[in-house]
Structure 1
């Protein structure tokens, strides 16, 4: 994903909003996704009916490859820290997770955060 283009940033925001819709339709803690029998499954599996925040990003991403998911997860994490731990915090609700995902997509500083993600990726060992 090109971090320098506004088009890619807007695409990421659209996917985050779509992921929030997945969370609103079915949310889970402790696993990325589950089917109707509460069996763990791949987030992109058509049988999935519940998703965590990170799994919802993967399920909502219609652009692929995996690197795109990492960047969108990092965009969310700029607002909440570790997205998996944040999703799984006791007392957290699906409405809260979805609302924060939407807020991250709509944040007025989102473009600046997005551009900063490239620097974070380059700094990683």
Structure 2
């Protein structure tokens, strides 16, 4: 993260939400580039890898959010996942559903980033218990 971006971030929920939306849009772009079902991420040989690994070339919806989150710990990836799940239910099951396509996953992620009720959902996540990082 650049010094300029850090300077622009203020410790309030609204700026965190703005960053969350950017991360989800970037994650959607990763899914468009390469998508996988049944795993969090894979390399060019379809071998499982960490979503943030340089070798990763395909990601599930959640894996893409881990890979795209360049602000941690400022924006919690667990919280990003909860925001997505507020719209689609269990992200893993949804991503891995038979018949699901990369285009659909990317489109829904982009829609979540731009949802008109996103700020209200994001603020509501403060009341949820998040897993430890």
Distance 1:10 1:67 in 2: 10
Residue 29 (structure 2) aligns with: 21
TM-score by length of 1: 0.92
Residue 73 (structure 1) aligns with: 81
TM superposition shift of 1:66? 9.4
Distance 1:38 1:49 in 2: 9
Distance 2:30 2:74 in 1: 18
TM superposition shift of 1:121? 2.1
Residue 105 (structure 1) aligns with: 113
TM-score by length of 2: 0.86
Q: Across the two proteins, how many residue pairs are aligned to each other?
A: 121
Say if 1:104 and 1:110, in contact at 8 Å, map to a contact too. yes
TM superposition shift of 1:118? 0.8
Distance 1:11 1:58 in 2: 14
Q: Structure 1: which 5+ residue stretches go unaligned?
A: none
Runs of 4+ in 1 over 4 A off after TM superposition: none
Distance 1:95 1:83 in 2: 16
Residue 123 (structure 2) aligns with: 115
The equivalent position to 2:96 in structure 1, one of 75, 88, 92, is: 88
Say if 1:34 and 1:40, in contact at 8 Å, map to a contact too. yes
Cα 1:63–1:120 change in 2 (3 A) is: same
RMSD: 1.8
Cα 1:104–1:84 change in 2 (3 A) is: same
